[in-house]
Structure 1
Amino acid sequence: MLYPSPIKLGSRIAVTAFSSGVPSIYHPRLDIVLEGLMTRGFDVVEGQCLRENHLHVSAPAQERAKELMAFLCDDSIDVIMAPWGGEVAMDVLPLMDWQRLETVKPKWLMGFSDISTVLSAISSKLGWATCHCTNLMQLGLNQQDSLTSNVFTYLATPAGSEFVQSAATHYEPQHADYSKHPNAVFNLTEASCWKALNPKFINVSALEFSGRLVGGCLDTHMVLFGTDYFTPYNRLINQFEPTVYYFENAELSATQYFRALQSLKFKGAFTHAAGILIGRNIAAEGKQGEGYDDLMALNQALGDLEIPVLYDVDISHQAPNLTIINGAMANVKLINGMGEISQKLI
């Protein structure tokens, strides 16, 4: 793996919306989080593809790809962040100059949801470690939960070292409307607990498994898997090396959720998997049909696997989120319902 340099005081962070942009009603929140980056001691560069949103995107695909390429090729940039996810980040992928990117310094790309579309492509095609984590618009200075507030601490980890995260005790069932409450923090009211899916592991008091991390938003990864933009055994993982997959669902209904996971299984995604982490499923709310819900979908798709499958993990649109490094060697533990993940940058 090619690990970008650890983040430090003075690191230069470029902000560009290569998926959805930020309409004016959310600009007060955007200004707050950008100011927060500067207060943390970072040098912030604001892109042109950021403060508008039309038909799901900040700008035409050619403009978004050009700006993303410019930041990726600027070796004064250490980190690239988007404000949040969106719908169609995949339209920039064929417009990027991947041959040129082979020659530049690796940089941290950070975010989740549709941002993971680009993270997986960067990791698969270039072999760079990328970071699936909380999005920029969630990173207010007043946000104090340990998983969110420590994201830059985790990314200060040098290559060869490791960091450890414990499961959140509570999560946020519904995110705040930043247009009405630009200073909002997470409302962590619901008890959280990682759970084992497969019958052979449900009643086991202690589970542990290891492998290289790979994954992202299921909505896009179900269609990207096996393409040039999400082929883990290309540059991200050595052939036959154990993997730990992680997925979160943004908008798939329960039946779509089942089909997405089943499709990955049909394509051989889990052939060398040591385990799978499934995030809390916000999309199931209000989309359950005739008693068919997300847990049933999980059981039907993955319940027969002979590896641990953990669900309700802190990887989702229901904050908070783990900081997960694509390509890092992870060790996952579940002891009496308490989850822990360590990641070694090797």
Structure 2
Amino acid sequence: MQSKILPPPLRSGDLLRIIAPSGALREFEMLGQSVEIWRSRGYKVEIMSDIAERWGYLAGKDEKRSQQLAAAWQDPDCRGILCVRGGFGSTRILENWHWQTSTLPKWLIGFSDITALLWSLYTAGISSVHAPVLTTLADEPDWSLQRLFDLVEGRPLAPLKGCGWGGGSATGILLAGNLTVATHLLATPIQPNLDDVILALEDVTEAPYRIDRMLTQWRLSGALSKVRGIALGSFTRCEPPISVPSFSVEEVLRDRLGDLGIPVVSDLPFGHNIPNAALPVGVQATLDADRGILDICVEKK
């Protein structure tokens, strides 16, 4: 069980680049507010060209979005990459993508559709951050913002408290992401090795039957067979359709995950709801399902 390479801690004055690898940008005011949060910490924040382009529901054509990511990743002066928003599109630019691991690793920060980039980078042996994108960051409470800065600046993280389902504790490498995006990575070259991981999953606007369908796919594929524990964040606006017989999303999660014989903790404060607590991808974590605690160990540099 080996943690991935952590990029060097960020320091005031470091250069961060903003990219739009997924959906078309709509929330310009929120973007501006979030950029100012980073700048108020002393960071130099530069917006990559063409982030406001649109090609259907995407933030420009695949080639342009791929070029943005490559330019930011290969820039020797850049220390972190901030993603504008989720939506859909990051998997499209990963079809022929190869991370240049000879480049100094840098922080990649985002969630939702950015899951594909986080997990792809994980397979290349580099840690990243499951955390708010720039169209949601400004809504985060102070403690959540501080947690993100603590993570990327090399300070310890406080444990997160949720609802433990019982069954003891487990230690593994934390792999956080959006359930829908992660499900569509199964059986692709982007799917990481899931042996000995603590899966941290969340989702938004998925009806309970669709959550059921995805988790059933995980079960049938055998993808959960060597997972050590499951940490569940918010499942936001996942109510059943009106006037249609249904389980609740909570009942579905219990039904599909409660019999796996591994620790499960639900209702942790990350995902599409506020707060969306930052989680490192690729570091060792302990999940205690008796106390309802997710505890993360980030090595000091």
TM-score normalised by the chain length of structure 1: 0.79
Alignment of 1:288-299 (within 5 A): 289-299=244-254
Gaps of 5+ in 2: none
Q: Deviations over 1:268-303 (max 9, x none)?
A: 222222210111211413537403221222122112
Separation (CA, whole Å) in 2 of partners of 1:139 and 1:249: 17
Match of 2:181 in 1: 220
Match of 1:46 in 2: 47
Tell me if the contact between 2:263 and 2:287 (Cα under 8 Å) persists in the aligned partners: no
After superposing the two structures, state which structure 1 stretch, 64-73 or 268-277, moved more.
268-277
Match of 2:164 in 1: 196
Task: State which of 10, 24, 39 in structure 2 corresponds to 1:21.
Answer: 24
Q: 1:88 to 1:251 in 2, by over 3 A?
A: farther
Structure 1 residue 253: Cα displacement: 1.6
Task: State which of 221, 224, 228 in structure 2 corresponds to 1:274.
Answer: 228
Does structure 1 residue 9 correspond to structure 2 residue 12?
yes
Separation (CA, whole Å) in 2 of partners of 1:345 and 1:217: 25
Tell me if the contact between 1:165 and 1:322 (Cα under 8 Å) persists in the aligned partners: no
Tell me if the contact between 2:30 and 2:134 (Cα under 8 Å) persists in the aligned partners: no
Give the AA of the match of 1:196.
G
RMSD: 2.2
Tell me the secondary structure at the aligned position of residue 78 of structure 2: coil
Structure 1 residue 228: Cα displacement: 0.8
Give the AA of the match of 1:58.
A
Structure 1 residue 54: Cα displacement: 4.2
Separation (CA, whole Å) in 2 of partners of 1:310 and 1:335: 9
Structure 1 residue 113: Cα displacement: 0.5
Q: 1:166 to 1:278 in 2, by over 3 A?
A: closer
Structure 1 residue 143: Cα displacement: 4.7
TM-score normalised by the chain length of structure 2: 0.90
Separation (CA, whole Å) in 1 of partners of 2:173 and 2:214: 22
Does structure 1 residue 65 correspond to structure 2 residue 66?
yes
Separation (CA, whole Å) in 1 of partners of 2:44 and 2:10: 11
Match of 2:91 in 1: 90
Q: Percent identity?
A: 22
Tell me if the contact between 1:38 and 1:44 (Cα under 8 Å) persists in the aligned partners: yes
Tell me if the contact between 2:285 and 2:294 (Cα under 8 Å) persists in the aligned partners: no
Separation (CA, whole Å) in 2 of partners of 1:296 and 1:53: 39
Does structure 1 residue 315 correspond to structure 2 residue 283?
no
Does structure 1 residue 130 correspond to structure 2 residue 128?
yes
Give the AA of the match of 2:164.
A
Separation (CA, whole Å) in 2 of partners of 1:75 and 1:225: 33
Aligned length: 296
Match of 1:287 in 2: 241
Tell me the secondary structure at the aligned position of residue 163 of structure 1: coil
Task: State which of 159, 165, 168 in structure 2 corresponds to 1:165.
Answer: 159
Tell me if the contact between 1:147 and 1:320 (Cα under 8 Å) persists in the aligned partners: yes
Give the AA of the match of 2:159.
Q
Match of 2:110 in 1: 111
Tell me if the contact between 1:2 and 1:129 (Cα under 8 Å) persists in the aligned partners: yes
Match of 1:254 in 2: 208
Tell me if the contact between 1:139 and 1:149 (Cα under 8 Å) persists in the aligned partners: no
Separation (CA, whole Å) in 2 of partners of 1:218 and 1:249: 6
Give the AA of the match of 1:333.
D
Give the AA of the match of 2:153.
A
Q: 1:249 to 1:107 in 2, by over 3 A?
A: same
Tell me the secondary structure at the aligned position of residue 297 of structure 2: strand
Tell me the secondary structure at the aligned position of residue 257 of structure 1: helix
Match of 1:37 in 2: 38
Gaps of 5+ in 1: 168-193, 234-239
Match of 1:171 in 2: none
Tell me the secondary structure at the aligned position of residue 66 of structure 1: helix
Separation (CA, whole Å) in 1 of partners of 2:283 and 2:24: 30
Q: 1:130 to 1:76 in 2, by over 3 A?
A: same
